[in-house]
């Protein structure tokens, strides 16, 4: 059983009388422990696809299966719980809640899960050590660099032990040096801890880090290669 399976998924947006086909008949299987990049130019449907995988959006046609469950059959209320427990999210920017400190942001999903304050404090502290964020616990997001903010977002995503972490252009707002560092962190988490990552990018340097590269053009699957 695949961790995630997209079965001829389409997503069509209607803008007035115009139909925009963002994703067309897309099929994909993702296994546990993958480090997969969705590559494609702007407008090729990367965000749309990640939103479908992350249960943030419903497909217009086709099915999304998560751990053997058809997401379409999951009641709307339970979707939030699935996102909370199964999926970690990292977005391009403004990932964090500005009024909360870095540590509180990283604890946010654990808080939603109802974890005891002390336990999650400790858990996040260890993630901060692991991700090189030590000493930044009490900083507000606005007082962190872009790379630090993204690492806090990784801490938040990793802390709740999700089945998969979805990252939509996590490095788009970072310089190349910081991007490399962030990717190295993700790669290490994938190798050391077996964390499953699916991230998108249009940057060849970033795409080069993917162990599996899924290329998108105009919402179609163009190629799906495993890089060894």
Partner 1 sequence: MDLLNLAWKNLWRNRRRTLITLSALCFSLMLIQGSHNLSHGVYSSMIDSGVRAGSGHLVVYQQDYLATRDEKLSFAPRDLSAEIGRIAGVQSVLPRIYLPGLAQSSRESRGILLTGVDPVVEKAVNPFLKRLPADEWLSSDDGREAILGSLLLKELKLKLGNKFVVTMQHRSGELVSEMFRVHGVVQTGIKGIDKTLLMVGRERAAALVGMDGEIHELALMLTDQTADNSVRPQLNALLQGRSDIRGYSWEEAMPNLYNAIRLDYASSNFIFIIMLLIVTIGVINTLLMSVMERFREFGVILAVGASAMRLRLLIIIEALLLGLVSMVFGTLLGSLLTWYLVAKGIDMRNFVSESLEFGGVVFDPIMRAAWDPLWMVKISFYLLLLALLAAIYPSIKAGKISPAAAMRHY
Ligand X SMILES: Nc1ncnc2c1ncn2[C@@H]1O[C@H](COP(=O)(O)OP(=O)(O)OP(=O)(O)O)[C@@H](O)[C@H]1O
179-215: string of b/e by CB count within 10 Å (b at 16+)? bbbbbebbbebbeeeebbbbbbbbeeebbebbbbbbb
The site string for partner 1 over 34-63 (x = CB under 8 A, - otherwise) reads -------------x---x--x-xx------
- How far is it, in rounded angstroms, from Cα 60 to Cα 39? 22
Binder of partner 1 out of 16, 75, 77, 228 (CB under 8 A) = 77
Name the helix (H) or strand (E) containing 117: helix 117-130
Q: Are strands 197-201 and 35-39 parallel, antiparallel or unpaired?
A: parallel
Nearer to ligand X, 33 or 146 (CB): 146
Residues that bind ligand X (CB under 6 A): 13, 15, 20, 22, 40, 42-48, 202
The site string for partner 1 over 142-181 (x = CB under 8 A, - otherwise) reads --------------xx--x---------------------
Nearer to ligand X, 20 or 72 (CB): 20
Per-residue CA distances from 115 to 131, 144, 154 (Å): 21, 26, 19
In the complex, residue closest to Mg ion by CB: 47
Q: Are strands 212-217 and 35-39 parallel, antiparallel or unpaired?
A: parallel
How many residues sit in the footprint of partner 1 (CB under 8 A)?
Answer: 31
- Of partner 1, Mg ion, ligand X, none, which one sits near residue 24, judging by CB under 5 to 8 A according to partner kind? none
Binder of partner 1 out of 20, 61, 72, 81 (CB under 8 A) = 81
Nearer to Mg ion, 55 or 106 (CB): 55
Nearest to 173 by CA among 50, 89, 91: 91
Q: Are strands 164-168 and 87-90 parallel, antiparallel or unpaired?
A: parallel
Nearer to ligand X, 107 or 168 (CB): 168
Q: Are strands 61-66 and 212-217 parallel, antiparallel or unpaired?
A: unpaired
- Of ligand X, partner 1, Mg ion, none, which one sits near residue 97, judging by CB under 5 to 8 A according to partner kind? partner 1
Query: Smallest distance, Å, CB 111 to ligand X?
Result: 30
Residue 42's CB is within 10 A of a number of other CB atoms, namely: 8
Query: Smallest distance, Å, CB 57 to partner 1?
Result: 4
- How far is it, in rounded angstroms, from Cα 202 to Cα 146? 19
The site string for partner 1 over 99-118 (x = CB under 8 A, - otherwise) reads xx-------xx-xxx---x-
> What residues line the site for Mg ion (CB under 5 A)?
47
């Amino acid at each position: 059983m695949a961790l995630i399976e997209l079965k001829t998924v389409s997503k069509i947006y209607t803008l007035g009388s115009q139909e925009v086909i963002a994703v067309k008949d897309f099929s994909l299987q993702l296994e546990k422990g993958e480090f997969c990049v969705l590559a494609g130019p702007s407008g090729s449907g990367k965000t749309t696809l990640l939103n479908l995988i992350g249960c943030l959006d419903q497909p217009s046609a086709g099915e999304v299966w998560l751990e053997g469950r058809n997401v379409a059959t999951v009641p709307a209320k339970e979707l939030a719980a699935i996102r909370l427990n199964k999926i970690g999210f990292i977005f391009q920017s403004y990932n964090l809640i500005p009024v909360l400190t870095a540590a509180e942001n990283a604890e946010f999903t654990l808080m939603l899960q109802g974890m005891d304050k002390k336990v999650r404090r400790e858990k996040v502290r260890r993630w901060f050590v692991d991700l090189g964020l030590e000493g930044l616990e009490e900083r507000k997001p606005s007082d962190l660099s872009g790379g630090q903010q993204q690492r806090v977002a990784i801490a938040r995503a990793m802390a709740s032990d999700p089945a998969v972490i979805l990252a939509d252009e996590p490095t788009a707002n970072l310089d190349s040096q910081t991007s490399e560092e962030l990717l190295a962190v993700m790669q290490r988490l994938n190798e050391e801890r077996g964390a499953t990552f699916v991230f998108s990018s249009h940057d060849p340097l970033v795409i080069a880090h993917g162990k599996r590269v899924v290329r998108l053009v105009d919402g179609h699957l163009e190629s799906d290669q495993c890089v060894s």
